[in-house]
Chains A and B, each alone.
Chain A
């Protein structure tokens, strides 16, 4: 089966950097995704890691260590609009996604 853990809530200040961690245990692994979800809306794709290392995309970066079952999403230069839920999701052997419970990020002025 799949087990994915991420913090429930985080708070950070506008302009700061925040790191959201995700650990996982899976029976099959086809990559790890990070999605952003604002309340009442569908998730929006942020990043995809299938190999170890850091993927950078503008203000967002995502890191993966397959041997440790660990990933993090790094958000730089935080803006108020970054307040949202961030979902870590693992793609299994059949490419189905299993989602973590999400981390609700609140950005304060």
Chain B
């Protein structure tokens, strides 16, 4: 199946700092990428949909100025958590959907963010 990578896999930061997470589709071009957040023992919640070359579409309740998304190329999307706070600590997962892969979303390995 298609391969999606995320970097970093784990990050610990101080409150007030910003953290950037990268999501890459390694063997296909992803016209659309999705960003999810998962709190312990809960399911994945969609944060935003990212389309290459255009602004991201955010789900209700997700602050676009706090979670900055950039989808600059067909293989890379970035999520920047600005001025992170302890309540932002979570498992952030991206997925990518490419042309010709039957609309299936393939997930990256996730990034565990801990804000102290």
Tell me if B105 counts as interface (CB < 8 A to partner A).
yes
* Contact indicator per residue, chain A 57-96, by CB within 8 Å of chain B (1) or not (0): 0000000000000000000000000000001010100111
Set A41, A42, A44, A96: member contacting B34, Cβ < 8 A: A96
**Across the interface, do A44 and B107 meet the contact criterion of CB distance under 8 Å?**
yes
A-B contact count (CB 8 A): 51
Size of the B side of the interface (Cβ < 8 Å), in residues, is 24
What's the dominant secondary structure at chain B's contact region?
Answer: strand
Tell me if B109 counts as interface (CB < 8 A to partner A).
yes
Instruction: List chain B residues, Cβ under 8 A from A7.
Output: none
| Interface residues on chain A, size class | 20 to 34
Instruction: List chain B residues, Cβ under 8 A from A43.
Output: 44, 93, 107
**Across the interface, do A91 and B93 meet the contact criterion of CB distance under 8 Å?**
no
Interface members, chain B 30-65 (any A CB < 8 Å): 32, 34, 42-46, 49, 57
Min CB–CB distance A49 → chain B (angstroms)? 11
3 pairs of A and B residues whose beta carbons are closest in the complex: A42-B107, A42-B110, A99-B43
